[in-house]
């Protein structure tokens, strides 16, 4: 049954490898989603800024209409100053919307980059875990102190003579000395 060690090690290594690939794929997918959300947020901020500018133009137009309707003019110094304050306020609001949208978009992009880097780190960790599994399994297959580990030889099993002097037949026969003999080890 020692072949189960090989199969188990292979399955463990394969699982770690596949898990690392999956983690990287998930990180990349999350990165794409965050970037798409960032682009959507930027577009929304541009629409909000355009709305603020349009609302500013409406405020200025209404202010001009009120000035003229009350018998005044819209070109005297006081009127020009009031209209420029309204125009400046509209532009300030528009730029604030743009800044807020860009700031949120950058935050989303940063989250995406973090997700991608996390996926890459998990993939690298899975590779190191797979290598560790291989090395620790290989170490368990060879036991120089003969404490029950499998002894490997290149010869086929055929009446192996164990340390207790008896011959054991068959692949992986277990002798009384606690060792499994997989070939002629004498």
**Which residues contact residue 59 at a Cβ distance below 8 angstroms, ignoring those fewer than 6 apart?**
86, 89, 90
Averaged pLDDT, 102-112? 96
Are the C-beta atoms of residues 158 and 173 closer than 8 Å to each other?
no
Mean pLDDT of the chain: 80
Query: What pLDDT, on the 0 to 100 scale, is given for residue 179?
Result: 55
pLDDT at 185 over 50: no
pLDDT at 54 over 70: yes
Residue 9's pLDDT band (cuts 50, 70, 90) = confident
Query: What pLDDT, on the 0 to 100 scale, is given for residue 29?
Result: 94
**Which residues contact residue 133 at a Cβ distance below 8 angstroms, ignoring those fewer than 6 apart?**
9, 12, 13, 16
Residue where the block lists tokens 């490898």: 17
Of residues 124 and 149, more confidence is placed in 124
Q: Taking the CB of residue 57, how many other CB atoms lie within 10 A of it? A: 13
Q: Which long-range contacts (CB under 8 A, 24 or more apart) does 170-174 make?
A: 172/1, 172/2
DSSP-derived 3-state class of residue 179:
coil
Query: What pLDDT, on the 0 to 100 scale, is given for residue 143?
Result: 54
Query: What pLDDT, on the 0 to 100 scale, is given for residue 79?
Result: 86
Residue pLDDT, tens place only, 18-46? 999 999 999 999 999 999 999 999 999 99
The whole-model pTM stands at: 0.62
Lowest mean pLDDT among 84-88, 116-120, 179-183: 179-183
Q: Taking the CB of residue 20, how many other CB atoms lie within 10 A of it? A: 22
Residue 177's pLDDT band (cuts 50, 70, 90) = low
Cα 1 vs. chain centroid, distance in angstroms?
39
Averaged pLDDT, 59-73? 88
Strands (E), 7-95: none
Averaged pLDDT, 85-97? 95
Query: What pLDDT, on the 0 to 100 scale, is given for residue 98?
Result: 96
Residue pLDDT, tens place only, 132-171? 888 888 777 665 554 554 554 444 444 555 555 555 444 4
């Amino acid at each position: 049954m020692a072949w189960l060690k090989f199969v188990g090690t292979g399955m463990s290594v394969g699982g770690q490898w596949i898990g690392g690939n999956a983690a990287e794929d998930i990180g990349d997918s999350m990165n794409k989603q965050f970037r798409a959300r960032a682009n959507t947020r930027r577009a929304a901020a541009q629409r909000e800024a355009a709305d603020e500018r349009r609302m500013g133009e409406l405020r200025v137009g209404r202010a001009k209409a009120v000035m003229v309707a009350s018998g005044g003019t819209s070109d005297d110094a006081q009127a020009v100053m009031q209209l420029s304050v309204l125009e400046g306020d509209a532009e300030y609001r528009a730029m604030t919307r743009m800044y807020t949208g860009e700031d949120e978009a950058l935050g989303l992009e940063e989250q995406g980059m973090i997700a991608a880097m996390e996926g890459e780190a998990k993939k690298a960790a899975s590779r190191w875990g797979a290598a560790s599994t291989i090395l620790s399994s290989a170490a368990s297959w060879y036991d120089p102190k003969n404490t029950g580990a499998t002894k490997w030889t290149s010869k086929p099993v055929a009446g192996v003579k164990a340390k207790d002097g008896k011959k054991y037949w068959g692949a992986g026969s277990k002798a009384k000395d606690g060792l499994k003999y997989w070939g002629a080890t004498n």
